[in-house]
Amino acid sequence: MSEILSSRKEFERRPNETVVTWLLRCWDSGASSLSLDGNEARQLGDISGDKSIDRAISRCLDEAATLWDRILIAVRERYPYKELLQPAKKTWNTIEKGIQYLREIALVEMLYESNFVPNDPRQNHDPERVRTTPEIWQKLTRAAPDRYAPTLLATFHRYEDQQRRPLVFELILTLQNYEQHLPPTHVSISAVTELANRLGDIEEQMSLLISRDEPVEPVIVSETFDDDQDKQRGLMKELIKLMKIQLIKEDGSPSSPVTSKISAIEGKRFPARVRNNNRTASRVALWRYLRDHGEDMRKWHDQDTPVLRARVRELQNRPTTSVVAPVTTGNE
């Protein structure tokens, strides 16, 4: 029973969270690795915020099935047409938000494929293993900022010339690699925007915690935590100062939209206690973790995301005295 309650807390839909964002978070949190029979699924109660979806999660299958398959069946029944479940159209201004939007689009495409069959072991229900379509490219490009749109269009045409439809996972890597090669000014703009967005997210989460009439679990903080945060504040102030000087030199204006964003976050501080509760990990993050811990990535190339996640957990649970094998030549 305690495991069911723990699962409910992990997969419960958050206030104001869209269905598509909730679906993606359930996937990232390991819903495909949690097997439940009908009785266990009923004990989850209201996890979606929608009574129709919650009923379908517990009743769609009598036999044991993964929570992921149950959720997909329930959402597909609740929203029989793809147009009813499209992610909110929004312009993304950082690579992180662009990848999130891309994965949401891909998840919807996967759910409404003509040959989609839930609980079929022959099918791969990993949103990052979906083949890109012209519709996915179009939505991502239209929502992209000006500095990314030309590259996305050029990449799309290159794949079209090759008559190849890359996986969403490959497109994610393309976006991340492009970010690394941006000119310094664009990198500064992205960094400032991301800092502002993250501070806003932290403030929103803290406001939700404060407004909830529930005790907050205590946080275990190391003795050096406060010192570390002081260093982070100092580094952040120096970064902001340098970026303001550089952008004013290049733009010639101390009142541009970018410098205004920088000024807006200058007076903000990190929360006194920041709890790392983010347990989501995309395929890219899992891939990098395995690579950085000496795994031969040729062995994991065609493996599904749950398999990668299981290996990461296995490595994380190793005794601290374990010795990680060196990275095999050729897998950098």
Residue extents of the structural domains in the chain = 2-80, 92-180, 184-211+224-266, 281-332
- Residue 153: name the closest of 140, 165, 164, 166 by CA: 140
Q: Give the angle subtended at the CA of 155 by the CAs of 151 and 160, to the nearest 5°.
A: 150
Query: Rounded to an integer, what is the distance from CA 316 to the centroid of its chain?
Result: 20
The Cα 133–Cα 136 span in angstroms is 5
Query: Rounded to an integer, what is the distance from CA 137 to the centroid of its chain?
Result: 19
Contact 36, 90 (CB under 8 A): no
Q: In a structure prediction context, what are the per-residue pLDDT tens digits for the chain, which is 332 residues long?
A: 556 667 788 899 999 999 999 999 999 999 998 888 888 888 888 899 999 999 999 887 777 889 999 999 999 999 999 999 988 877 888 889 999 999 999 999 999 998 888 767 667 789 999 999 999 999 999 999 888 888 888 888 888 888 899 999 999 998 888 766 555 444 445 555 555 555 555 555 545 544 444 443 333 333 344 444 454 455 555 555 655 555 555 455 555 555 555 555 555 444 444 344 344 446 778 888 888 888 888 888 778 888 888 888 888 887 755 444 554 444 44
Q: pTM, whole model, 2 decimals?
A: 0.58
Give the contacts of 33 (CB within 8 A, at least 6 positions apart).
Answer: 66, 306, 309, 310
